[in-house]
A and B are shown apart, each in its own frame.
Chain A
């Protein structure tokens, strides 16, 4: 993290050098497409350039730029959700949910397999292999699930904001997030928790 307290020189080349890669990676986690991610990073830096007088020196430059980037990402997804219907299940492809719930629950809605505790999350987050598994599982989500999950969890949007951006009802929003979490949980359990290599001696 950069700790510059102000944009003294407001040199755009410097922002690009110092923050471009991080902004790009943040955008990639939402959009999963490098051309779109490059575009939003460019728009972000241009917007930052125009608004540089508004930058309050008490926030870090990275935080300020990330805030602008979040808005640009949301704008892009909002626009896309209005062009193609987000609710269209036919576009989901594999890995989505109606089948997943059918595998996980019996007809009475009980879990088919026993649920196992994962242990201490903080210890888990220390492990690089956990993040490899998380990345892999997240990348496996359908675009619909990953878009909703990313806006909610990575950008930290409220459920109201999320529904508005995706142009869907609030209950639908909750269901999509539920499916995303269920898919991630299932994937993590098979790729990380069932893997005996995952921990050092314990």
Chain B
């Protein structure tokens, strides 16, 4: 296996490193590449920003005029009904 890697391989390792620790060899390859490459350190930061954005996006509530409204009233009604049935059937002994 060669030591010098391309930007394509380096960016792949940058992504992988967000999810799991790299092997020692890969981590050395990546570090060496980031030292000599102008582009990949930027990509490194941008990928990390996307990672952070993903975490935030999950819990972001776009209730205020966002693209995704909440449950439709039909769905709410169906769910409420199934909950009431379930509660009715399993409620003996509570309270």
Query: Dominant SS at the A interface?
Result: helix
Contacting residue for B87 out of A12, A130, A134, A178, CB 8 A: A12
> How many residues of B are in contact with the other chain, CB < 8 A?
53
Residues in B neighbouring A155, C-beta threshold 8 A: 58
B70 touches A24 (CB 8 A): yes
CB-CB contacts below 8 Å: A142-183 with B: 149-150, 152-156, 158-159, 174-175, 177-178, 181-182
Residue of A nearest to B67 (CB): A135
User: A29 at interface (Cβ–Cβ under 8 A)?
Assistant: yes
Q: What 0/1 readout, one digit per residue, does chain B (46-86) give for beta carbons within 8 Å of chain A?
A: 11111111111111111100011111100110111011101
- Inter-chain contacts of B42 with A (CB < 8 A): 115-117
Report whether B72 and A177 are in contact in the complex, using a CB–CB cutoff of 8 Å.
no
Determine whether the beta carbon of B51 is less than 8 Å from that of A20: no
Q: Which of A79-87, A88-96, A105-113, A194-202 contacts B (4 or more CB under 8 A)?
A: A105-113
Within 8 A of B (CB), among A1-43: 10, 12-13, 16, 20-22, 24-26, 28-29, 34, 38, 41-42
> Within 8 Å CB of A121, what residues of B?
48-49, 52-53
Cβ of B41 to closest chain A Cβ, rounded Å? 9
- Chain A residue numbers with a CB within 8 Å of B20 are 158-159, 174
Contact A12 B80 (CB under 8 A): yes
Contacting pair B71 A24 (CB below 8 A): yes
| Interface residues in A, total, Cβ within 8 A | 58
| Chain B residue, CB-CB nearest to A42 | B79
- Chain A neighbourhood of B87, CB < 8 A: 12, 49
- How far is the CB of B88 from the nearest CB of chain A, in Å? 10
Taking the nearest CB of chain B, how far is it from the CB of A102, in angstroms?
A: 10
Whether the Cβ atoms of B76 and A49 lie closer than 8 Å is: no
Which residue of chain A has the shortest Cβ distance to B8 in the bound complex?
A: A109
Q: Which positions in B face A, CB cutoff 8 Å?
A: 6-9, 11-12, 15-16, 18-20, 38-40, 42-43, 45-63, 67-72, 75-76, 78-80, 82-84, 86-87, 90, 94
Chain A residues with CB under 8 Å of chain B are: 10, 12-13, 16, 20-22, 24-26, 28-29, 34, 38, 41-42, 45-46, 49-50, 101, 104-105, 108-111, 114-118, 121, 124-125, 130-131, 134-135, 138, 149-150, 152-156, 158-159, 174-175, 177-178, 181-182, 184-185, 188
